[in-house]
Every structure is written in structure tokens, then in C-alpha cells.
Chain A
Amino acid sequence: SAVISQKPSRDICQRGTSLTIQCQVDSQVTMMFWYRQQPGQSLTLIATANQGSEATYESGFVIDKFPISRPNLTFSTLTVSNMSPEDSSIYLCSAVGSPEAFFGQGTRLTVV
């Protein structure tokens, strides 16, 4: 199984600013995903992070708001841009193993 290190684990940010979340996997993985989890809710897929090409976004999520990078097979970042209080949530990265998915520890974001 893969081990994923995600940081920061939590942050409190001012509205209008941006936060970049990083995920480092201890082995090469083909697929990585980014999710959002609102309090008391399940996970909602934001996008699939594609190595060497633009991320594939789900309905309701756009690149300008959530730019994603995936420069290689072990690393990805998600930026939450121009934040508002509605962006307060837990953000999780995930990598696909064989065949289950593994998760980072999550980033608890509060926008004030």
C-alpha cells in the first residue's frame, strides 16, 4: 500500500487569498485524485490529477478556482484560489493502488 503525506494538515486563511495543498506519495502511482469533504458529508471528487497534462475536473469545479499540478508520478498540488468562507472544508488527495485508493491525512481549511 502507498503512503501519502499531505500538508498542511490545517490552515486558517483570509478570504480572497489562495492556499496550495501538497501531496507526496512514497511510490509511483498512475492516478491521483483530489476530493472535498464538507462537515458531516461524504467525499466529493474535485478532479483527477493527470501527470504531464491538465487535470480533469468534475461538474461544478473549474481550473481557475482549483488549479492542480502533477509534475511527476509521486507528487501533486491543489490550489484553492480567491477563497471565500464557502471553501471551508476538508481537502483530501488520493492515489490509486491495486485496486483500492489510499488517502492523505487531509487538510482542514477554514476561511475567515
Chain B
Amino acid sequence: RKEVEQDPGPFNVPEGATVAFNCTYSNSASQSFFWYRQDCRKEPKLLMSVYSSGNEDGRFTAQLNRASQYISLLIRDSKLSDSATYLCVVTTTSGTYKYIFGTGTRLKVLA
């Protein structure tokens, strides 16, 4: 079982739609959680951190459920520019501190 799992998609949604991505992680001792965005042929860039209380940044809402080891990202009112791969990232300290990336979920927003 992979340490961080995501539905690879692709998710094809029309502009204006609401789309949700899920992510599960296997290490209950994981400490920090993030969503990254990666555009084609570009490096990953931080979209938002994820906190237990949930957090929102404009059209984006992230949730963390530590008991279920589950992270989510909700995108409202999708824009064409939201088309990208969304990576769920978890930090662990098993041995050494490191970032573990999920497989990524591809989103394509259609006009």
C-alpha cells in the first residue's frame, strides 16, 4: 500500500462546477499536510496547507480528518486556469523528516 493515495483521475468538469479531491495516508504519525498544484512541465507549487480545523482560501477549501487519515480539497466555481495536477503531500518523521507525495489527481476544466 502506498503511503499517500489519491484517485489519479482525470476529472473533467465544466467551468463553474464544484469538484472535490480526496487523499488518504497510511502513517498515523504524519505531522503536516499540504495540497500542491503542478502544471504540465512545471515544478510543484504550494496551493495550501491543511489544518485539522479546516481552512479556506478563496474558492479552495481543505479539510483534514486525522482519525480517518483523510485529506480533501474542494474547488468551487472552477476556472479553466484550475486545470492542473493536484498533489496531496504529507510529512513524516519515520527515521528522517521527509515529504511524501501522493500520485496526484489530474483536473481538466472544460469551457
Check B43–A105 contact: CB distance below 8 A: yes
For residue A24, give the distance in angstroms from its CB to the closest CB of chain B: 15
Check A45–B99 contact: CB distance below 8 A: yes
For residue B24, give the distance in angstroms from its CB to the closest CB of chain A: 15
Interface string of A89-110 (1 = CB under 8 A from B): 0001010100111111110100
Chain B interface, number of residues (Cβ within 8 angstroms) = 22
The yes or no answer to A48 lying at the interface (CB within 8 A) is: yes
Please, which residues of chain A bring their CB within 8 A of the CB of B99? 33, 45, 94, 96, 101
The yes or no answer to B54 lying at the interface (CB within 8 A) is: no
Please, which residues of chain A bring their CB within 8 A of the CB of B91? 99
Please, which residues of chain A bring their CB within 8 A of the CB of B44? 43, 92, 103
For residue A42, give the distance in angstroms from its CB to the closest CB of chain B: 5
Within 8 A of A (CB), among B87-104: 87, 89, 91, 95-104
Check A100–B46 contact: CB distance below 8 A: yes
The yes or no answer to A81 lying at the interface (CB within 8 A) is: no
The yes or no answer to B27 lying at the interface (CB within 8 A) is: no
Check B101–A103 contact: CB distance below 8 A: no
The yes or no answer to B55 lying at the interface (CB within 8 A) is: no
Please, which residues of chain A bring their CB within 8 A of the CB of B26? none
The yes or no answer to B72 lying at the interface (CB within 8 A) is: no
Check A33–B98 contact: CB distance below 8 A: yes
B residues neighboring A (CB under 8 Å): 32, 34, 41-46, 49, 87, 89, 91, 95-104
